[in-house]
Structure formats: C-alpha cells, structure tokens
Chain A
Amino acid sequence: MLRIMVIDINLNAEKVSKEEVEPSDRELVLQSQKGDVQAFEQLVERYHRKIYGLTYNMTSNREDAEDLTQDVFVKAFEALPRFKGKSSFYTWIYRIAVNKTINYRKKRNRKRALSLDQFDQEIKTDDVYHDLTSKGSPLRNLSLSELQIKLNEALQSLSENHRIVVVMHDMQGIPHEKIAKVVGASVGTVRSRLFYARRQMQAELSEFIK
C-alpha cells in the first residue's frame, strides 16, 4: 500500500515538473496567435512526427509526405488567428492534415510510385516481428523490404476514407471518438469503415494472413 502511494507521488511529481517545464498546447497557441513564431516552433516539434506519420502512411511516398507536412503546418500557422479553441489543437491540426492529404491526392490523380522510409532497426527487437518471422509463420521467408512493399501496396489499395481510419486507428493508436471528430463522421461510421478496410486488406494480404 505504502509502496503504491510512493510510486503515485513520484508520478505526480514528474507530471507537475513536466507541466512546469513544458507549456500546454493552449498556451503555445495563444502565444502563436500573438505572432510568437518560437511558440509555434514548439508546436511543430510536438506534432511533426504524428503529422508526418499520417501523411506518409496516406501517400506511401516520403517526398509527398514531406511536402504535405510543410503545407499542413504553414496552413495551420496562417489559420491560427481564427482558431477559437472549440476543439483541441491536436484535433484541429489533424483535420487540416486530413483535408490537405485528400485534396493533394485528388489533384494528383495518377498513382504515385512508392517511396518508402526505411524500417528502424529496433523492429528486430519487437515481439510482434519476432513472432511473425519465427518458424511456422507464412512471413518467415519474406525479407523486411518485401514485407514493407506488400503492406504499403495493400494500404494504397484502400479508398481515402478507409485508409485514413486504418492509419489513424491501427497505426497511430487514435481512439474512434477522436477519429470521428477529425474526419467529421459518426463513431459508428468510423467503426464500419475500419471493419471494411481491414477486410479488404486481409484480402490483399491473403497469402500471408491465413
């Protein structure tokens, strides 16, 4: 009992000190709205990885993802004076990213070739990877790059609306409710899209998923 309390106190202390050091999104947004570029730079640092991850997985093309990430942050900075804080900054910037990505894809009708980032070497320490490449798994003879291409091709075979929910839920771990806010649909619609998207991906990857 005492031990649990000590851990809890330590966690709280850590949380407080983190809050003291790092300003909240709201504070940074307010400062940015007043024209503080450095405050906005902190928001870029905070959300760059997530926005890049979203655009990269939506396009499977790192050059496009880099361009889109730039466009998203610049657009967000320009639109900040009209951000009223009705939703969180996180939801708001995701909404911009989703709209930008879908528009970008629509403008470029033709299918782009895959241009993929490399797998981090840490993957080899992941239990999931270990299981999937172990004896008896259909993936055991597949190289890492082959697996990557198959996954991205399967992802690109989905429609925009289906791909966005797979990327946000299954890759970025965002809950259904937040996805619904970002894409402007009901939670039920998000669940249904996720269901159909997974079914289609299973069909695409049927040779590995048995």
Chain B
Amino acid sequence: MDLLLRRLLHLKRYETPSLERITKNKHNIMRRVRDASHKSRWTLADLLELNIPWFFAEPRYGIAALFIVFAGLQFLGINSQKTEQNKVDFYISNRNLAAIESPVTFSTNHISYPKLPDNLQLFPYQQGNDQVKFVERVEEKK
C-alpha cells in the first residue's frame, strides 16, 4: 500500500504550469527584485519576520514569549526598586562647593567659636552714648 501511494504521489511531478505562466512569473519576480534593489529600506515587520519567523508562524508561541518577557521585566523592575530603597549612597566631591572658607575654630576657655571674617560687625555702634568705654582688647589664645 505504501508503495502504491508513493507511486501515485510520483505522478504529481507531471503537474506543471504552462511555459507562458512560468515566464510571466519569473518576469514579475525580477521586476519586484529590481524595485527592491532601488529602495533597500527595511520595515520593522520585515526584520522581525526574517529574524524570528516562528513568532509569526505560531502566533500563540509568540504571544507566550512576549508575556514571559513582560513578566521578566516586571520582576526585574520590582527587584531593582527594593534594592534602591535599602541602599544609602555616599558621594565624595573634590570640588570646593562652599564659597566661604571652611571654619577654623579656636578655643577660649572651654567653648569653641568659629573664626569670623574681620569686617563683620557683631553689634551696632552705640552712637551718642558716652557711658560705653573701651576697657580691654581680648587677644585670642594660641
């Protein structure tokens, strides 16, 4: 039976298109090929169909693959958020960020005060008050 079937199928080789149809088909192919050679631009659909033909041949597998990729990305996103929350970063910069020089402190008795610029007026002048007298300059201790 198997042999008979194969002999029957062998006969299908004699089913051939007419020469005219073949010639016309070849001309159509070459016309399209010449057109394509002039505009060699790729669409995203072309690239996808050529690179991952199984995606289009079996759409259910394609959709399943997309779902897996989506789930994977979601999982990665959640994980990275968690690690961001748990992590404290320290940054060190060599640049002098402040315009004011860093405070150099010196101690008088026990209390430390920052050094102030010379031209900074701490108290307003008490003009017209003769009762205020200069008593003593306090020198800073070294």
Q: Indicate whether A and B interact.
A: yes
Which of B5, B29, B37, B57 is the one whose CB lies under 8 Å from A202?
Answer: B5
- With contacts A37-B34, A171-B9 taken as known, whether A69 is within 8 angstroms of B25 at the C-beta atoms is yes
Q: Is the interface of A mostly helix, strand, loop or mixed?
A: helix
A68 to B67, CA, bound (A): 31
> For chain A, which range describes its interface: under 10, 10 to 19, 20 to 34, or 35 or more residues?
35 or more
A44 to B7, CA, bound (A): 29
Is B57's CB under 8 angstroms from A106's CB? yes
Shortest B48–chain A CB gap in Å is: 12
With an 8 Å Cβ cutoff, the count of chain B residues facing the other chain is: 38
How many A-B pairs have beta carbons closer than 8 Å: the answer is 122
- With contacts A48-B25, A52-B25, A77-B37 taken as known, whether A126 is within 8 angstroms of B5 at the C-beta atoms is no
Chain A residues with Cβ below 8 Å from B87 are none
A194 to B132, CA, bound (A): 118
Residue among A74, A118, A202 with most chain B CB within 10 A: A74
A77 to B33, CA, bound (A): 7
Is B16's CB under 8 angstroms from A70's CB? no
Is B16's CB under 8 angstroms from A117's CB? yes
A146 to B13, CA, bound (A): 16
Cβ-closest chain A residue relative to B3: A209
Which of B8, B13, B36 is the one whose CB lies under 8 Å from A77?
Answer: B36
Chain A residues with Cβ below 8 Å from B56 are 99, 103
Is B22's CB under 8 angstroms from A52's CB? yes
Chain A residues with Cβ below 8 Å from B29 are 44, 48, 69-70, 73-74
B6 at the interface (CB under 8 A from A): yes
Chain B residues with Cβ below 8 Å from A70 are 25, 28-29, 32
A70 to B37, CA, bound (A): 15
Cβ-closest chain B residue relative to A120: B14
Shortest A179–chain B CB gap in Å is: 15
A-B contact list, 12 entries, CB within 8 Å: A52-B22, A66-B17, A73-B33, A75-B50, A79-B50, A117-B18, A118-B16, A122-B14, A128-B10, A151-B12, A198-B5, A209-B5
